[in-house]
Structure 1
Amino acid sequence: MSPANNSLPITLSEFLLICFPGYQSWQHWLSLPLSLLFILAMSANATLLLTIRVEASLHEPMYYLLSLLSLLDIVLCLTVIPKVLAIFWFDLKAISFSACFLQMFIMNSFLSMESFTFMIMEYDHYVAICHPFHYPSIITDQFVIKASVFIVARNALFCAPIPILSSRLHYCGKNIIENCICANLSVSQLSCDNFIVTRLYQLVTSWTIVGSDLILIFISYTFILRTVLRIKAEGAAAKALSTCGSHFILILFFSTILLVVVLTNVARKRVPMDILILLNVLHHLIPPALNPIVYGVRTKEIKQGIQRLLKRTM
């Protein structure tokens, strides 16, 4: 569907996703690394989920949290990347209103859930390192269930209004989204109505949710670092710092890209559009590809479980 003439306002029924408007000639080349990252993310997370499912020794709260993180990563990848690859390979740019706003809801909700899951996992590390004798009584199956319920409730309360506010706007003019995904600000700016409310709501919600999670994560790492530096056992401090350091770098990468996406949406005229689009896509692909490796494969119990799983299938 082509953009409507301003003198003949009509109600649109679909959007067109235009990925990298200035560099469409090399989209096929970009699809190759994206495809490899997508395959890596899906296979790594699926392997981690299957390993935790079949290995009875991994039926513990810490590994349930890993399963939750992998599940969120899989949903995020499936929500965004197949459509991006379909645009690159088959020029399938059209997306219906319902599919667009559903994608918007899943992206906002699951990214927020992932942020909170990171925070819960770091709290798990904090208790394990700083209060090891109380760990079995604090980090229980009931704790994981309550945390999961809170994650869903928090995001249903704060993130659901974002696509609802955008979907209630009147779209009667342009229907071309200069993005690979149905990002809220990319969609709402096409509206014939004033979208300042939905824009402010997303910015405030993003800063509140992700900001509060990051603050709590940094506080946890402060206590962990203080405790680790006091460990006198040979090699124990270095091992703990290595593990927590890799986790911290991954979380910092996740939050930094999210922060850049938010800031560039505010100052989009000062930042090349293609950079913003690439950041949006990578933010839904690189963390899901790295999470199961950093959090799972580097864990001794997970590594042994994967090896046993491979032996059974061979």
Structure 2
Amino acid sequence: MKAPLGHNASAPNTDPAVFFLTGIPGLETFHLWISIPFCSVFTIALLGNTLLLYVIKTDLTLHKPMFFFLSMLASIDLVLSLTTMPKTLSIFWFRDREISLNACLLQMFFLHTFAIMESAVLLAMAFDRYIAICHPLRYNTILTHSLIVKVGLVALARGVLLMSPLPFLLRWLPYCGSHVISHCFCEHMAVVRLACSNTRFNNIYGIIVAFLVVVLDLTFISLSYAKILRTVLSLALKDEQLKAFGTCISHLCAILIFYTPVILSSIIHRFGHHIAPHIHILLTNFYLLFPPMMNPIIYGVKTKQIRERVLHLFHRKSF
């Protein structure tokens, strides 16, 4: 159902099956200009992750645990980008703010499920680096293809199980006031705020999920790197220390660019009531757009095998 001519998105909407996304509140007049960096980052993310997947798939020398985890990360980043950015750009370019309740809940489910999966894959990659540095002789016997597949399935199952209740919980809530979502996409807390009933359970569930995912995953990642650091410092030669720790740089960068804005966004959502809404929304878009754009660049620059394969690919096409 399209909004009638002259419809004011800020007015209350009586149709419970329709919501309206505002884009970035307070910056509506700049939407067209904001779309330029958004579209550029989106395009780089699509091209970079697609190229990364192609290189890993076609080069048999890259069929190793670290690169299998990296291909999982690239696939997740592609889904995250495609889940939010097409609708965001349609708001910026065509003022297409309307979204059905079902489409909104589906977008929210994919968004949060794959964000949880990305956290799990980053944890798996930390485990990969721990085994490679602390137990190098057992690397191939521990990180078998079977284990990698199981890790991927567990990451998917965890995301689906944790997020499956949310669409049902939100469907049961009454939305008797404004149906305007002050966001570029359907984020869980942004939708919860529209409900005109007690949402304490939704808030508590969101906090529990955030704790289970972010806090626990970061704790295990930190423990892995504490053991890695102890092993690296025990190496006699400085060159060996630098070489061992150099294999972790790309992963550490991926961790920082993913978790930093996630944590800041979560804190602002619950405690930053005096922070301008557009700051929070820009930060949320940052953690959805920046990691998918940067991960292929980081791993392409820092990983010799990928860098050489990409250069060879473009060099061959230039002839």
Q: Same fold (TM over 0.5)?
A: yes
Checking the alignment, whether the CA contact within 8 Å between 1:77 and 1:285 is kept in structure 2 is yes
**Aligned ranges 1:27-106 → 2 under 5 Å:** 27-106=31-110
Distance 2:26 2:94 in 1: 18
- Structure 1 pair 94/11, CA: closer, same or farther in 2 (3 Å)? closer
Checking the alignment, whether the CA contact within 8 Å between 1:113 and 1:151 is kept in structure 2 is yes
Name whichever of 123-132 and 206-215 sits farther off.
206-215
Identity level (%): 37
Distance 1:162 1:249 in 2: 31
The aligned amino acid for 1:303 is R
Distance 2:249 2:302 in 1: 12
Name whichever of 41-50 and 304-313 sits farther off.
304-313
Once the two structures are superposed, residues 41-88 of structure 1 have per-residue CA deviations (whole angstroms, 9 ceiling, x without a partner) of 111100000011111111222211111100000000001111111111
Distance 2:235 2:93 in 1: 54
Checking the alignment, whether the CA contact within 8 Å between 1:11 and 1:171 is kept in structure 2 is no
Checking the alignment, whether the CA contact within 8 Å between 1:119 and 1:213 is kept in structure 2 is yes
1:256 matched to 2:260? The reply is: yes
The structural deviation recorded for 1:3 is 6.8
* 2:188 equivalent among 174, 181, 184: 184
1:127 matched to 2:131? The reply is: yes
Name whichever of 258-267 and 292-301 sits farther off.
292-301
Partner of 1:240: 244
TM-score (norm 2): 0.92
Checking the alignment, whether the CA contact within 8 Å between 1:4 and 1:10 is kept in structure 2 is no
The structural deviation recorded for 1:252 is 2.4
Distance 1:255 1:50 in 2: 27
Checking the alignment, whether the CA contact within 8 Å between 1:3 and 1:173 is kept in structure 2 is no
Once the two structures are superposed, residues 95-139 of structure 1 have per-residue CA deviations (whole angstroms, 9 ceiling, x without a partner) of 111111111001110000000100000100010001000001001
Other structure's SS at 1:191 match: coil
Structure 1: 4+ residue segments shifted above 3 A: 1-6, 311-314
The aligned amino acid for 1:27 is H
Checking the alignment, whether the CA contact within 8 Å between 1:16 and 1:95 is kept in structure 2 is yes
1:195 matched to 2:199? The reply is: yes
The aligned amino acid for 1:120 is A
Once the two structures are superposed, residues 160-212 of structure 1 have per-residue CA deviations (whole angstroms, 9 ceiling, x without a partner) of 11222112212232111111110111111112222221121011111111111
Partner of 1:301: 305
Name whichever of 102-111 and 198-207 sits farther off.
198-207
1:159 matched to 2:126? The reply is: no
The aligned amino acid for 2:169 is L
Checking the alignment, whether the CA contact within 8 Å between 1:11 and 1:170 is kept in structure 2 is no
- Structure 1 pair 246/297, CA: closer, same or farther in 2 (3 Å)? closer
The aligned amino acid for 2:36 is L
- Structure 1 pair 4/220, CA: closer, same or farther in 2 (3 Å)? closer
Once the two structures are superposed, residues 264-303 of structure 1 have per-residue CA deviations (whole angstroms, 9 ceiling, x without a partner) of 1112422111101101111110011111222344211112
Name whichever of 145-154 and 225-234 sits farther off.
225-234
The structural deviation recorded for 1:311 is 4.0
Distance 1:296 1:67 in 2: 12
Checking the alignment, whether the CA contact within 8 Å between 2:20 and 2:179 is kept in structure 1 is yes
Distance 2:168 2:214 in 1: 20
The aligned amino acid for 1:309 is L
**Aligned ranges 1:17-32 → 2 under 5 Å:** 17-32=21-36
1:280 matched to 2:284? The reply is: yes
Name whichever of 253-262 and 230-239 sits farther off.
230-239
Distance 2:9 2:35 in 1: 27
Other structure's SS at 2:235 match: coil
Extract unaligned runs of 5+ from structure 1.
none
Checking the alignment, whether the CA contact within 8 Å between 1:261 and 1:279 is kept in structure 2 is yes
Checking the alignment, whether the CA contact within 8 Å between 2:134 and 2:228 is kept in structure 1 is yes
Q: CA RMSD in A?
A: 1.8
Checking the alignment, whether the CA contact within 8 Å between 2:257 and 2:287 is kept in structure 1 is no
Distance 1:213 1:141 in 2: 22
The aligned amino acid for 2:148 is V
Other structure's SS at 1:181 match: coil
* 1:266 equivalent among 260, 270, 280: 270
Once the two structures are superposed, residues 209-229 of structure 1 have per-residue CA deviations (whole angstroms, 9 ceiling, x without a partner) of 111110000011111111111
Aligned length in residues: 312
Distance 1:56 1:174 in 2: 55
